[in-house]
Amino acid sequence: MKDAYKEAGVDVRAGYESVALIKKHIQRTVTSGVLGGIGSFSGLFQMDLNKYPEPVLVSGTDGVGTKLKLAHSMKVHDTIGIDAVAMCVNDVLCQGADPLFFLDYIACGKNYPQVIEQIVKGVAEGCIQSECALVGGETAEMPGFYKEDEYDIAGFCVGVVNRPDIIDGSFLKEGDVLLGLASTGVHSNGFSLVRKIFGDDADSLSKVYPGFDKTIGEILLTPTKIYVKDIKKIRSIAKIKGMSHITGGGFVENIPRMFKEDGNLTPVINKGTWNVLPIFNLMMKKADIAEDNMYRTFNMGIGMVIAVSKADAKKIMKEFKEGVFEIGYVAVAKDVKDVKGIEENIYIKG
């Protein structure tokens, strides 16, 4: 008997095979709060109310944008899932939350079980790095909507924070220190511009540029840094007063988000206090992009910015031998002398 659904482009059996292949990866992410297993209509998670007596749930959802084009062209599928997790968990971190669980959504033109397995393998790795559980997801085969060899991925994360521990900028004050945590590369933002600069076909991405020991495709597909373990370590020795995940909009849009809208404080960033990654210098040179525009679009080597007291900054810098930089400070906006540098509530010096 003919399978009418399969003839229409949806192979249910391929879906079953995908589930069988990904089970071992999901199992690696199981934490103490997970109830049940794969195959239910929803994921179950029991929260530890002894650890979180005044729990506030914090949620975030995101995708990886057109970085997917590179993964499609290079046929590399085991890192893009890390990006999907990173984009969500790094956001919920900014309110002081511990990520609890994650769900993914994969839409594809044709379900190739081995490809789905590689994607979910990356998602599982991201969850392990985030110390959260992968409790469910959805794989939607959508022929005619996506090309057969293309897919999209998005994710959703839920975290929890005790209400007194919410990070919302309320305790920021003049003289606090801004610390930058190093990024691993471009992360998952600005790839419409990245693709315009370098191209997104296999030949373009296989090029090795002078001064680099990997192809440009390999460099650009480097997974987004997940900051969960670093932030938990910092919170164990210091009070974080503000936090910004440097995503789309770069420094200019994201760092001011840690400040109260009705306040009079502004971040002051000192360029030259950290190592701008070579990929960003290459982009500026190759496309003749003004440095100001780079700071409006990319992370420039800093993926997360936190605000702490001067005393706590010293403790953190002593604990972290590398990867953390003192990049600026908190100032009263009216006291910043060179008003030329102030734009959209941020002042970038140098």
**Domain-terminating residue out of 117, 141, 165:** 165
229 and 317 housed in the same domain: yes
**CATH number, domain with residue 185:** 3.90.650.10
Q: Is the pLDDT of residue 340 over 60?
A: no
* Count of domains forming the chain: 2
203 and 129 housed in the same domain: no
- Residue 302 domain-assigned? yes
Q: Could you tell me if 106 and 152 are in contact, meaning their C-beta atoms sit under 8 angstroms apart? A: yes
pLDDT attached to residue 246: 98
250 and 286 housed in the same domain: yes
11 and 74 housed in the same domain: yes
73 and 192 housed in the same domain: no
193 and 122 housed in the same domain: no
**Domain-terminating residue out of 103, 137, 165:** 165
Note the pLDDT tens digit of each residue in 265-296: 999 999 999 999 999 999 999 999 999 999 99
The percentage of the chain sitting over the pLDDT mark of 90, rounded to a whole number, equals: 85
Structural domain including 70 reads 7-165
Structure tokens at 326: 């003192």
Note the pLDDT tens digit of each residue in 114-161: 999 999 999 999 999 999 999 999 999 999 999 999 999 999 999 999
- Residue 123 domain-assigned? yes
138 and 206 housed in the same domain: no
